[in-house]
Amino acid sequence: MVLTSQNQEGDQVVIVVPVTHAAPSDPTLAVEIPAETKRRLGLDDARSWIVVTDANRFVWPGPDLRPRIRGDSSSVAYGALPRALFHRLRDAFADALEARLAGVVKRTE
């Protein structure tokens, strides 16, 4: 999750960026998640990257989220990123937006 806000109806609206196992063709457009962070969050051991070019905006919790516990929508939040990693992600996303390499897609709610 990169940003949270509240809409006029009082719903929490989030902007999230995807996580993938596919190595980026351009390393400036993704941030690798360190193995230690992946273990702490309960993710698998394969290398993963946070893609900063394809953000989604939706009311939380929303479509396309994968709960850790089947049927429990509250389990889609795996935990917080370390501050330094979050800052790298935020800065890479801001740079991609500024360079017009990233966009935010409003998802169905």
Separation between Cα atoms, residue 100 and residue 53, nearest integer Å: 9
Q: Can you give the pLDDT of all 109 residues of the chain as single tens digits?
A: 677 888 888 888 888 888 999 999 999 999 999 999 999 988 899 999 999 998 988 887 776 677 767 777 666 767 788 999 999 999 999 999 999 999 888 886 5
Quote the pLDDT of residue 16: 87
**Sign of the dihedral through C-alpha 82, 87, 92, 97:** positive
Quote the pLDDT of residue 79: 76
Quote the pLDDT of residue 94: 92
Structural contact between residues 76 and 12, judged by C-beta atoms closer than 8 angstroms:
no
Quote the pLDDT of residue 52: 93
Q: What is the DSSP string of 81-107?
A: PPHHHHHHHHHHHHHHHHTT--EEEEP
Q: Where are the alpha helices (DSSP H) in the chain?
A: 35-41, 83-98
Quote the pLDDT of residue 108: 65
Q: Is the whole-model pTM more than 0.85? A: no
Quote the pLDDT of residue 2: 73
Separation between Cα atoms, residue 16 and residue 55, nearest integer Å: 5
